[in-house]
Chains A and B, each alone.
Chain A
C-alpha cells in the first residue's frame, strides 16, 4: 500500500488501465508533453507513446467529437477537458452524440469514452474554474456521472469508468486534488459505478454529500457527535448517474432526518432530486423537513468570496440542528 493524493491515484489508474488494454488512449489539451496542467496524465506519453497519448488543438467540441468517433472505431479514449467550465463547448457533443450513440444505433455502437474534468471552487482560481455544473450531465440520459471524494475511490472509479460500456463524465474536485493522502493499493482496484457508500454510521441523522463536500460533511458529523451527542450517518454518493438511492433510503428510514449537501447551485440541483426520491419512498419515515445546504443561486463569485459561496461545516451543522430540532 502506498500513500497517494488524488492526482497520483488518478495517474495510477490511467497507467494501469493503459497497461492492461491497448485500446485505451489519453487525449486533451496539454495532456501529453505537459502531463496535464494538474499532472494527472504525467508520464503517460513516455510510457505509451504519442499514438496513445495525444496533445490536441484547443477545441473542446472537437476533442469530444473525436473521442466519439474513436469509440465507434473500437477505442476507449480517456479525454481530459481542462476545466469543467470549458466543457460547455463540448456539451453539444456529449448530449447530442456521446449520450445517444448506443440508443441511436440500436445498440450497435457505444461512445466508450471517459470525459474527465476538474470541477469546483476553493483553489483561488479564475472565473470559469470554480463551477459545479454536474447537473448538466446528470440530467442527460445515456451519460453516467461520477464524482469521487478521495484518492482511493477516485482511482477505483476511474478504472471502472474506463472499462464501462457507456460514456462516463468524471468530475474531479480541484479542491481535493492535493488535499490529503491516503492508502491506495498498487494492485488493481475498481468500484462499481452507480453505487454509493456509507462512510460513517449513525442512527440520529443522515447527511448526504459527494465530492469536495464530503470532507465538510464528515467535519460537521464530528462536531455534532462532540457537541450535541448526535450520531450522524454520512452517505457518499460517488455516482450521480445512475443515482444509487438504496443507501440513503435505508438510512433515512432509520434516522428520519436528512440533510443534503452540494456545492452546485441550489435550484434544480442534485439535492432537489434526492429530496424528491426521499419524498417518494420515505415520506412516512421523515420526522422533520429535509434540509438542503448548497451553493447559492448566483454565479460563483471571483475567488475572494468563493468560500462564502461554498457550503461549509458550520452551515451544514446548523442545518443538521434545524432538522434535529423537530420533535
Chain B
C-alpha cells in the first residue's frame, strides 16, 4: 500500500565486557594471554604518564601546543592491540597512546611537539600515516589504504582514528560511503570523547549514537564502552576479521571521555563542569583494567609500583635524548627539504641565497 514501513533489519549493538569494579562477562572476554594483557596495560600506563609529562613540559614552555590523550587510552590501545603491525594506522592528532603501541619512539613524539619536523619522520616499513590535524580529513585515506590492501591482496586492514566532532565533516561521510561501495577492509574508529573543543556531543549531531551513522552507508556500526579495554579489543578484533574475510568496513564508536583539555591552548572550565569530569574520572580506563588484572591475579600493587618506576625512567631518558637531539637541530635549512622528491632550481636557489645570508 502507499505508506508502509521498510524493515531494514538494522540494529546497533552496544558492547561492554568489563564493569567498573573489575568484574567481567566471561562469555565476552577476548582470548588474550597474560603477556599481552600486561603489554596492553603497560602501554596504557606509559601513555598516561607520558601525556602528563608532556603537559608539564608544555606548561614550562619546553614544548608547544599539543592534544592530551588522557582518558582515551583504552580506546586506542584496545584497538591497536587487536591488529597487527602490518595493518595500517591512520591517526588524527590525539593518538599518542596508539602511537606508543605502534612503537613510535617517545623521542619522536617529543621532538614533534617541540616544533621539529624531524619528529614526524616515519621509519621504513612502518605502516603509519603522519599525524593529521584538520578534523576528519584523514578518514578517506584509510578507505584508500584499504582499497590498496585489497587490490594488492596483502591481507592488511586500515584503521583510522577520529572524534565525535569529525562525524560532522564531509570527509567522514565520503570516506565511509566509499569504503562501503568498494567493500574495503577499513575500520573507522570513532572516539566519542563527548566534546569537540567546547561543543558537546549532543550539539554535534541529533543522532542517538554515532555508530548508527554506519547503517546509512550499508556497513555495520557498533557502539563500545571506550573505557573498557576488553570491549574495544573484542569489537575491533571482530571487525578486523570481517574485513580480512572480504566483508568490508565497520564503524566502531568508542564511548569515552576527554579528561583533559582539548589542547593546551584550551580552558574547559568555560564550557563544562568539574562534576562531569570527576564522574568520568571514576570510570578511568586504566584503573578499571588494573582492578581486573588484580582480580585475575595477573598484576599486583607491587608490580604496578615497579612498573611506574620503570616508566618514569623511560620517560626521563626520552626527554634527555630529545634535548640532545634538539641541540643538534638549530640549523634552519632543513625547512627546504622534502617539499619535492628533487628540489626544483628556483627552490634550490632560494635555499642557497638563504644559506649565504645565514653565513654573512
List residues of A whose CB falls within 8 A of some B CB. 29-30, 33-35, 37, 55-62, 85-86, 88-89, 124-129, 266-267, 296-299, 301-306, 308-309, 315, 318
Q: How far is the CA of A256 from the CA of B326 in the complex (A)?
A: 45
Q: Contact at A58–B166, with CB atoms within 8 Å?
A: yes
**Which residues of the other chain, B, contact A34 by a CB distance below 8 angstroms?**
197-198, 270-271
A33, B270: Cβ atoms closer than 8 Å: yes
Shortest C-beta distance, A272 to chain B (Å), equals: 13
B38 touches A (CB below 8 Å): no
Which of the residues A37, A60, A298, A302 comes within 8 Å of B112, measured between beta carbons? A302
> Considering only CB atoms, which chain A residue lies closest to B204 in the complex?
A57
Enumerate chain B interface residues (CB-CB to A < 8 A).
64-66, 93, 112, 114-117, 119-120, 131, 133-137, 165-166, 168-171, 196-199, 203-205, 263, 265-266, 270-271, 326, 329, 332, 334-336, 339, 346-347, 350-351, 354, 357
> A127: which B residues are within 8 A, CB to CB?
131, 133
Neighbouring A residues of B66 by C-beta, 8 Å: 126
Main secondary structure of the interface of A (DSSP, over half): loop
Interchain CA distance A308-B335 in the complex, whole Å = 9
In whole angstroms, what is the CA distance A287 to B329 when docked? 42
A-B contact count (CB 8 A): 118
Q: With A58-B165, A302-B115, A305-B335 given, can you name 18 additional A-B contacts, CB distance below 8 Å?
A: A29-B197, A33-B271, A37-B197, A57-B196, A57-B204, A58-B136, A58-B169, A58-B196, A60-B169, A86-B134, A88-B134, A89-B134, A298-B347, A303-B64, A305-B116, A305-B332, A308-B335, A318-B357
Report the minimal beta-carbon distance from A174 to chain B, rounded to whole angstroms: 11
A37-B266, A55-B198, A305-B115 are contacts. A124–B205 as well, Cβ < 8 Å?
no
Residues of the A chain whose Cβ atoms lie less than 8 Å from the Cβ of B265? 37
Which residue of B133, B168, B197, B339 is within 8 Å of A298 (Cβ)? B339
Question: Judging by beta carbons under 8 Å apart, are B199 and A55 in contact?
Answer: yes
Known contacts A33-B198, A86-B134; decide if A57 and B165 are in contact (CB<8 Å): yes
Q: Are A58 and B117 in contact (CB under 8 A)?
A: no
Closest to A315 in B: B357
Rounded to whole angstroms, the CA-CA distance of A126 and B131 in the bound complex is 11
Given contacts A57-B165, A124-B64, contact A301 B335 (CB under 8 A): yes
Q: How far is the CB of B197 from chain A (nearest CB, A)?
A: 5
Distance of A58 Cα from B164 Cα, bound (Å): 9
